[in-house]
Amino acid sequence: MIGGASAGAGLAAGTALRARDSGGPRLSAQLLVYPMLDHRNETASSHAIQDPRVWNRSANIAAWAAYRGGGDPTIYSSPALAEDLSGLPPAYISVGTFDMFHDEDVAYASALNRAGVSCELHVYPGAFHASNGFLPDHPTSLRWKRDEDEFISRCLAGQL
């Protein structure tokens, strides 16, 4: 299994694509928590979040510029560019409704499903980027953790 949160989840998604295209290693699942998947920043939610107290549009643009280092994006660095998502391992994607990655994450989950890849999408009402870490005892964060733990347990039990 491969996974991560935010930029780490984007790296995990890109690594899953690379593993598929390189013939291995074979991954059993992807755990993508509010993944950063699209360098283009064109979605409505990527424009909507401006609050400096949370991960916002200007921080995201700066992060993508630093990550890319002036290089051209590929499907491995910006997985939303991938036109063929077939052959990837089952995925779990979680994101809040007030996360700037909401729209790109929902689109990626839908694209995985269209490609025949099993993808669980969990969207948490009212949650912002990394709110499950900032507010770990909030009922939404507790449900979020239970959902992730259940996915991991199913994966480890070979039930995906």
Q: How far apart are CA 53 and CA 43, in angstroms?
A: 20
pTM of the model: 0.96
Which SS3 state, helix, strand or coil, does residue 79 take?
A: helix
Strands 119-128 and 2-5: unpaired
Please name which of 150, 5, 158 lies closest in space to residue 89, comparing C-alpha atoms.
158
Domain residue ranges of the chain, discontinuous segments joined by +? 2-156
pLDDT at 125: 97
pLDDT at 160: 86
What's the helix, strand, coil split of the chain in %, to 5? 45, 15, 40
Per-residue pLDDT of the chain (160 residues; tens, 9 = 90+): 999 999 999 999 999 999 999 999 999 999 999 999 999 999 999 999 999 989 999 999 999 999 999 999 999 999 999 999 999 999 999 999 999 999 999 999 999 999 999 999 999 999 999 999 999 999 999 999 999 999 999 999 999 8
Q: What is the enclosing helix (H) or strand (E) of 60?
A: helix 57-68
Q: Where does 24-147 show beta strands of DSSP type E?
A: 30-33, 91-98, 119-128
Q: How far apart are CA 28 and CA 135, in angstroms?
A: 30
Residues β-bridged to residue 32: 4, 93
pLDDT at 80: 98
**Structure-token pair, residue 145:** 């953790």
Sequence-separated (6 or more) residues with CB below 8 Å from residue 83: none
Residues 68/97, Cβ–Cβ less than 8 Å: no
CATH architecture of 2-156: 3-Layer(aba) Sandwich (3.40)
